[in-house]
Each structure stands twice: as C-alpha cells, then as structure tokens.
Amino acid sequence: MTYRLYGTPGSLYTGKVRSYLIRNGIRFENRAAGSADFRERIVPQIGRWIIPVLETPEGELIQDGSDIIDWFEARRGDRQPASPEMPRHALISQIFELFGGEGLLRPAMHYRWNFDEINRPFLERDFSAFLAPTGADDETRKGVFAMSSSRMRKAMASFGVSAETIPAIETAYLEFLDLFDRHLSRSPFLLGGRPTIGDWGLIAPLYAHLARDPYPSAIMKTRAHRVWRWVERMNASDPDVGEYVEARPELFPDDEVPDTLLSLLRFVATDYLPEVEAFVTFANRWLAERPDMPAWVSGLDRPQDRVIGQVNYLWRGLPVRVGVLPYRLYLLQKVQEVWDRTSGPDREALDGLLQDTGLSSFVRLRTARKVVRRNHLEVWAPAT
C-alpha cells in the first residue's frame, strides 16, 4: 500500500499537504473524505470528522497538515528540508506557515461563500463529489452540500467575516496579493529557489479557495499573475521555474531578507498580529479560570471541539468577534521555538528583523500552558 491522503480538493488544509507530497515526489493516493472507508474506519480512530488524514503504508494515521509535514520531515533522508537552517529564514518560514493557514482565512472564506452567483454551481458539484457517499443520488448530493455549506458559512462568521468587515477584507487581500506578486518578481518561492514551510502555509488558502474557486481565481489571474504561477508551481512535480533566468533550488544567500519580503512581514504585523494578541490574552484568562484542569486534556466538554470561546478586538479599526482556536497557538509556538533556540548574534539578527517589521510581539505573546497535539487533538501541557 502507498500513502493515502484523505481529504477533498477544495479543502484548505488538504491542499497544503497535497502540495508538499507532490513537490517532494512522495507517491500517494487521493481518497475522498465522503468514502465509506473514511467514515467507518478512519473517523473512529481519529475521534472526530476532520481532514486531512494521512495513512502510511504501515497503517499509521497522522491528522493535521502541519503534523503530516513534520512526520515526513523527520524521515526526509536526502530531500531538501522544509524548514530553513538559517535563523532569519527559519523564523520567517514559520511566521508564514501560521499566517497562511490561519491569517488568510477571512479572505478565503469571504471569496468562497459570498459570491454564490458565480461560485455556487462549481461548489455544489465539487463538494458533493468528494463528501457525498459513493453512488449517491442527486437529492443526497444536494443535501450533503446544503449541510456542509451551512456549516462553513457559520464558520466564516466566527472568523470575523461580516457585512461591516467585508470592504476591509477585500482591501487587505488585494494589498497582500500585490505585495506577494511583487516579491515573486525576483524568486519563484517565498525564500528563493525552492519552497519552505512558509510556502506550504500560504498555499493552503491561496490554492484551495482563492485560486480554485471561480470568483477569486479570476482576481488572482488578472491582478497577480506571478502569484497564480506560484500556485501552479506549488502543485507541480517538476521545478516549473522557466520564467526565472538561471533559477537554482537554493534559498537566498547569507540569510538575506529582501525589501519585498520585509514589506510582506509588515503586512502580517498590521493584518494578523492584533488577532494573535487577542487570542493569547483570552487563552491566558481562560486558563486562569481553570487552575485545576489536568494536563493533556482540551478542557472542553466535548474533546473533539476546537474553539474555547469568543473574543472581541479591533481589526483595521473595526470591531470583530472571532472564535479562539488553540490550534493557532500551537502554530504560534513553532514560531517561538525558532527564536528560543537562538542566542548571541543569531538572536540579535532575529530581534532586529522582528523590530523592523513590527512583529516583536510574536515571540513574546505566550500562554501559561503550551498547546500540544496528542491523539489527534489539541490539548494543554502541564503548567510550568
């Protein structure tokens, strides 16, 4: 048996893993999340319906895009590492893994679910093809789409998408597209000639929602062609860098951070740092209210739930209310681990980069207890 990837083509987090497998030449089979095998055999082992799930040839199950990539990285052999070795590149790559998969959820959800006239015919067929049971009739397929659509629209609201925030969401997304497109004028990937974990964080929303759904796909193709080409490149098994003269599979030399990348990091500080601050503040208050909560539990009545509460904060001058997911804190900790393992000149280089881009808080905003993943769930480590 080869590797099996359970998910859907339109799934943000499945797209992240699929790109990693393709780019690294890892043979795998796509398996639909609507299959009887997934429902009856995989879901009971995972403990909740969630994608993606990777099944190894030995029958081991790994759930979550970041964990799947980590699993392969620990066994990568002579493949190029997803995480750069140089300190500034390593930190930047982890920042964009967090920002890509989590910070770009607002435009991803808005451009998928608020343009039914254009998107809905595609989404109805796409969702039902991979979520409905094999051989389902049209009525069953329609019901599957209606249920999943309703669920996702509720999730969209919990990410802060509302009539009041939509204009700012669109403005911010177009700004991001312009900045990323400009950066890609000098290199085929985020940090040079090959992808890193930052690219795989960004591909999650930029492929599954924003380059694949009809309405936002047209925006990307007409406004940010280099980003569109990067999306194609991230899903190609060959380098696909023909428009870059003498492109080599190497990162920027000497831990270089070009001005175009600094601009992208400053965008992250403006667009996403306020949410990170709100999440950490809420989580610490939530933990303080549960001093006797044992280790290695989620602290929720239903362990399979992912949201511990709702928090209000200002985003681009607008009040938003969003669900607090410990999973985002888990990815934030990966950013902080890069900073924690540095010292001396390397630490000074990181601090200078963070101060220059307005992201110094990223390495200082910490919860009283760490989030870890055990048995496919986000749980809290013992208090330190």
Lowest mean pLDDT among 48-62, 190-204, 238-252, 294-308: 238-252
pLDDT mean over 275-281: 97
Mean pLDDT of 123-149: 84
Identify the pLDDT of residue 287: 97
The answer on pLDDT for 249 being more than 90 is no
- pTM of the predicted model, to two decimals? 0.95
Mean pLDDT of 305-322: 95
**Choice between 127 and 166, residue whose per-residue pLDDT is larger:** 166
Q: Name the residue among 47, 1, 10 with its Cα closest to residue 208.
A: 10
- Confidence band, pLDDT 50/70/90 cuts, at residue 139: confident
The mean predicted confidence, pLDDT, of the chain is: 95
The percentage of residues in the chain with a pLDDT greater than 70, rounded to a whole number, is 100
Q: What is residue 86's predicted lDDT score, i.e. its pLDDT?
A: 96
Is pLDDT of 128 > 70?
yes
**Least confident interval from 20-24, 147-151, 249-253, 325-329:** 147-151
The per-residue pLDDT for 207 is: 97
Per-residue pLDDT tens digits for 340-383: 999 999 999 999 999 999 999 999 999 999 999 999 999 999 98
pLDDT score, position 1 = 66
Of residues 246 and 237, which shows the higher confidence score?
237
Domains of the chain, first to last: 3-73 (3.40.30.10), 87-269 (1.20.1050.10), 270-380 (no CATH)
Residue 127 has pLDDT above 80, yes or no: yes
Q: At 291, is the pLDDT very low, low, confident or very high (cuts 50, 70, 90)?
A: very high
- What is the pLDDT, as a whole number, of residue 247? 72
pLDDT at 260 over 90: yes
- Given a cut of 90, is residue 248 above it in pLDDT? no
Question: H/E/C letters for each residue in the chain?
Answer: CCEEEEECCCCHHHHHHHHHHHHCCCCEEEEECCCHHHHHHHHHHHCCCCCCEEECCCCCEEECHHHHHHHHHCCCCCCCCCCCCCHHHHHHHHHHHHHHHHHCHHHHHHHHHCCHHHHHHHHHHHHHHHHCCCCCCHHHHHHHHHHHHHHHHHHHHHCCCCCCCHHHHHHHHHHHHHHHHHHCCCCCECCECCCCHHHHHHHHHHHHCCCCCHHHHHHHHHHCHHHHHHHHHHCCCCCCCCCCCCCCCCECHHHCCCHHHHHHHHHHHHHCHHHHHHHHHHHHHHHHCCCCCCCCECCCCCCCCCCCEEEEEEECCEEEEEEECHHHHHHHHHHHHHHHCCCHHHHHHHHHHHHHHCCHHHHCCCCCCCEEEECCEEEECCCC
Average pLDDT over residues 328-336: 98
Separation CA 323–CA 187 (nearest Å): 36
pLDDT, average across residues 155-161: 92
- 232 contacts: CB under 8 Å, gap ≥ 6: 240
Give tens-digit pLDDT for 182-221.
999 999 999 999 999 999 999 999 999 999 999 999 999 9
Residues 253-278: what's their mean pLDDT?
Answer: 97
Average pLDDT over residues 27-47: 94
Cβ neighbors of 124 (< 8 A, separation 6 or more) are 141, 142, 145
